[in-house]
Chain A
Amino acid sequence: MRRRSPGFLLALPAWAWLLVFFIAPVGMVVWFSFGYKPSIFATQATDRLSFDRYAEVLDPTFFATFLNTLWVGVAGTVLCFLIGLPVAYWMAVKAPPSRRGLLVALVMVPFWTNFLVRTIGWQVILSPDGWLSSALQVIGFEPLAILNTRGAVLLGVVYNYLPLMILPLFVAFDRVNGPLREASKDLGAGKWATFFRVTLPLAQPGVIAGVLLVFIPLMGDYITATVLGGAKGNMVGQLVASQFQTAQNWALGSAMAVVLIFVILLSAAIGAGIVWLVTLPFRARNRLVIGPPAPVPSAPAPGSGPAATSASIREEVGA
């Protein structure tokens, strides 16, 4: 009891640090977004507040970039999911347990390699004068013309954010692995039924984490589009950056940043709604099968394994 109040104070430095260097600056940007650019030489002024900058953001040219970003964001997230799901499943379930550590390390290394450098690697691969292009020409194809298109940006973001999908899915499948799936098979469920009615529903937290971890940074991506996109593959991140760096219109740039955050939140909410509706019939069927939270027999994995599994079943039932 004696230690309680000073213990609480230990978090104060972090509170203060994040308030001063995160909340305050972001708050300032929100404030700027209601202002305007008074002259060529000034970046912003807030003596007259209005929603005019937001109207400007919805102008057709900028709006097209928002739509383009949303398209890349959704397509990139879906592709990451479709590509990453089998890989995570393979790593957690199919691959021999002794190799699991190595496989995790193999996914981790690209993830922790410099983002910009990895993207430049793709620029080298996709270059019309590069070795891949020459090799294709030898076989009789046209030289590669994908660089500086939306396709190159899509490839780049799928590549860059794929580990962020694989890792949480791997963790989720790793938890579900074992007795529950065996039980499902013993009770006569086939491979597909086991996957769709036991494994995937229980891995749901991992799926949600993966989708959000990919979608949110992808929507704000600046580097991939800068390196691979050229003029055609413009994304909102570049638009915001250019307002602050070249156009020196901080008011408009701030409004774009705020709209970007709203677009991300809104699309995440809409996505959640769609998933909820689509899975409604499945959940109605599964509810009877799984039943109320009982002590779940789980693999003797240390740590949070059993607790997490029963927690996710409870969520499933509650939903």
Chain B
Amino acid sequence: MSDRLTRRPRRSWSDVAFSVWGILVMLFLFAPILVIIVSSFNVGRLLVSWDHFGFDSFLALLAKPAIRDAVWISVQTGFIAALVATVLGTLAGIAMSRNPGKWVWWFLGLLLLVSVTPEIVDAVALLPWMVFLGQDLGMSLFNDGIVRLVIGHSLFSVAVVSYLVRARLVGQEANLEEASADLYATPPRTFAKVTLPLAMPAVLAGFLLSFTLSLDNTVIAAFVSVSGSTPWPVYVLSALRSGLRPEIAAVSTVMLVLTLIALGLVAYVLRRAGDSAADIARTMGGG
């Protein structure tokens, strides 16, 4: 009994230590984000030095064509890249889960290679490749800014969507599809009415994650983008050299809200599909 009494406070002491450490790390994780959000209400010439409070920086999104265009390019690219990655990844994920065999290991190996290759290597590889396709082979499609960005941004996302869709379908038996085939549904009909709805939560989550990934992609975008279609992160990167103004923070805050909405939707979709916090963490921690 006395042993218990003495042990209790000690245990709670270590619990407190864990909580304090956890909260400190959370603050550390949010510190620069809070700084950016606060800075977006700064009215002044430079991001670093605080002048006074105001909403002027947000108006730059409407007033400055360069910023407006960059954001618009990013949103367009994000949408198309997410669409491409979702279609390719969903088909590949379904094929892997429903037609297992030796080829799946080769394909997973390729996806692993895509996801572990440092982004800078993808970037420097795509630059000469696009020049080769566009200029040496004369396929003018590959000189288009948005096409280049979509290709660069979709690579990692294809891998992410494939993982997600495969993981969702592997956990479910193919009984329903077999039943559908027994009931004389044609393969395309089975695909549309049974397989696709089963995979839907993963498909939606994959789409939104791809959109966010594309919106944030800086390294590949910096290499493949052509002048005239500069996406937002590349605009920020070039502003870094010429001096950061508060409007960078303001637009970043708007983009952050956009990202949060996308993430909130992912979590909502996965929750409704019955995932636990750990499942969601696994899904969104990059497969």
Contact = CB atoms under 8 A, between A and B. Distances in A.
A201 interface: no
Nearest to B37: A121
B281 A171 contact: yes
A200 to B, nearest CB: 16
Contacts of A223: 218-219, 237
A114 B181 contact: no
Contacts of B15: 94
Contacts, number: 285
Task: Report the contact-size class of chain B (Cβ under 8 Å from the partner).
Answer: 35 or more
B118 A219 contact: yes
B242 interface: no
Nearest to A209: B285
Contacts of A87: 21-22, 25
B236 A116 contact: yes
B125 A14 contact: no
Nearest to A30: B125
A213 B280 CA distance: 17
B56 interface: no
A2 interface: yes
A160 to B, nearest CB: 10
A15 interface: yes
A86 B255 CA distance: 31
Interface in A158-191: 159, 162-164, 167-168, 170-171, 174-175, 191
B128 A29 contact: yes
Given A109-B260, A171-B282, A303 B22 contact: no
Contact of A105 (B216, B267, B278): B267
A121 B32 contact: yes
A227 interface: yes
B181 to A, nearest CB: 7
Interface in B94-130: 94-96, 98-99, 101, 103, 107, 110-111, 113-114, 116-129
A204 to B, nearest CB: 16
Nearest to B46: A129
Contact of A86 (B18, B91, B125, B233): B18
A18 interface: yes
Contact of B33 (A121, A170, A254): A121
A220 interface: yes
Contacts of A245: 223
Taking chain B's interface residues, is the majority helix, strand, or loop, or is none over half, making it mixed? helix
Nearest to B39: A124
B59 interface: no
Interface string A218-231: 01111100110000
A45 interface: no
Nearest to B181: A3
B132 to A, nearest CB: 7
B18 A89 contact: yes
A176 to B, nearest CB: 11
A39 interface: no
A11 B91 contact: yes
Contacts of B107: 11, 14-15
Given A90-B21, A118-B33, A124-B35, A18 B158 contact: yes
B274 interface: yes
A122 interface: yes
Given A120-B248, A257-B125, A107 B29 contact: yes
B128 A10 contact: no
B248 to A, nearest CB: 7
A82 to B, nearest CB: 11
A28 interface: yes
A4 interface: yes
Contacts of A106: 26, 29-30
Nearest to A31: B128
Interface in B238-287: 240, 244, 248, 252, 255-256, 259-260, 263, 267, 274, 276-282, 284-286
B154 A17 contact: yes
A235 B182 CA distance: 60
Given A25-B126, A164-B286, A129 B49 contact: yes
B151 A21 contact: yes
Quick one: which of B36, B103, B190, B285 has the most chain A CB within 10 A?
Answer: B285
A159 B30 CA distance: 10
A175 B229 CA distance: 46
Given A120-B236, A302-B276, A14 B88 contact: yes
Given A13-B87, A100-B277, 6 more contacts: A17-B84, A25-B125, A115-B216, A222-B119, A244-B127, A261-B118
Interface of B: 14-15, 18-19, 21-22, 25-26, 28-33, 35-36, 39, 47-50, 84, 87-89, 91-92, 94-96, 98-99, 101, 103, 107, 110-111, 113-114, 116-129, 132, 151, 154-155, 158, 162, 171, 177, 181, 187, 190, 212, 215-216, 218-219, 223, 233, 236-237, 240, 244, 248, 252, 255-256, 259-260, 263, 267, 274, 276-282, 284-286
11 contacts: A10-B91, A11-B96, A11-B107, A22-B155, A105-B267, A110-B29, A117-B36, A121-B32, A124-B47, A244-B223, A257-B125
